[in-house]
């Protein structure tokens, strides 16, 4: 299999995850609307949307065609992930905040790994701007740090009280 085809598959996998991840960010921000955490999640959602757009631009620059069915799968996967027993029938479980923040942390970790792969490839492909990808890695690291703080603070609020 040639490297261009492999790169296309790899980047489409990341686009699929980025699509589902963006939907999860939007849902988490809505779920905590009106709170400090919700405001921070809204800002992070916008940054994640911009990162997804950057990925699409990189894919165009690298002559990678978007696999639309795969992208749709990312949206469907995020929605299916909502279907889980949570101890509440008609309203949002307080634990949803903690679980969603964990999912967001995982999504950003995967995105970071994808940008790091592009850092490696930048040394072999002049269509990839190493400085741009370095900035994307730094941005993802900042997002991960912000999410870690939000996740641990929400966990403490919810679970560290009296039993």
SS (H, E, C) 100-134: HHHHHHHHHHHHHHHHHHHHHHHCCCCCCCHHHHH
Alpha helices in 81-94, H assignment, sequence order = none
Q: Report the C-alpha gap between 118 and 67 in whole angstroms.
A: 19
Task: Give whole-number Cα distances, 4 to 15, 22, 112, 132, 149, in Å.
Answer: 16, 26, 21, 21, 38
Length of the chain: 163
CATH of the domain at 8: 1.20.1260.10
Q: How many domains are there within the chain?
A: 1
Mean pLDDT of the chain: 88
Ramachandran quadrant class, 34 (left: phi over 0; alpha: psi -120 to 50; beta: rest): left
pLDDT tens for residues 56-102?
999 999 999 997 766 766 555 555 555 555 555 556 777 888 989 99
Range(s) of the domain holding residue 115: 3-159
pLDDT tens for residues 100-128?
999 999 999 999 999 999 999 999 999 99
Confidence of residue 159 (pLDDT cuts 50, 70, 90): confident
Please give the model's pTM, rounded to 2 decimal places. 0.86
114 contacts: CB under 8 Å, gap ≥ 6: 10, 11, 14, 55
């Amino acid at each position: 299999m040639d490297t261009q085809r492999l790169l296309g598959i790899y980047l489409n996998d990341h686009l699929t995850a980025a699509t589902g991840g963006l939907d999860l960010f939007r849902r988490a921000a809505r779920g905590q609307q009106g709170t400090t955490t919700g405001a921070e999640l809204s800002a992070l959602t916008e940054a994640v949307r911009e990162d997804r757009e950057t990925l699409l631009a990189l894919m165009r620059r690298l002559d990678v065609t978007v696999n639309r069915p795969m992208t749709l799968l990312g949206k469907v996967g995020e929605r299916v992930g909502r279907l889980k027993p949570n101890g509440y029938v008609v309203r949002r479980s307080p634990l949803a905040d903690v679980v969603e923040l964990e999912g967001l942390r995982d999504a950003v970790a995967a995105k970071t790994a994808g940008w790091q792969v592009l850092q490696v490839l930048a040394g072999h492909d002049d269509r990839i701007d190493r400085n741009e990808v370095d900035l994307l890695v730094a941005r993802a690291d900042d997002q991960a740090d912000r999410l870690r703080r939000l996740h641990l603070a929400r966990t403490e609020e919810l679970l560290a009280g009296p039993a």
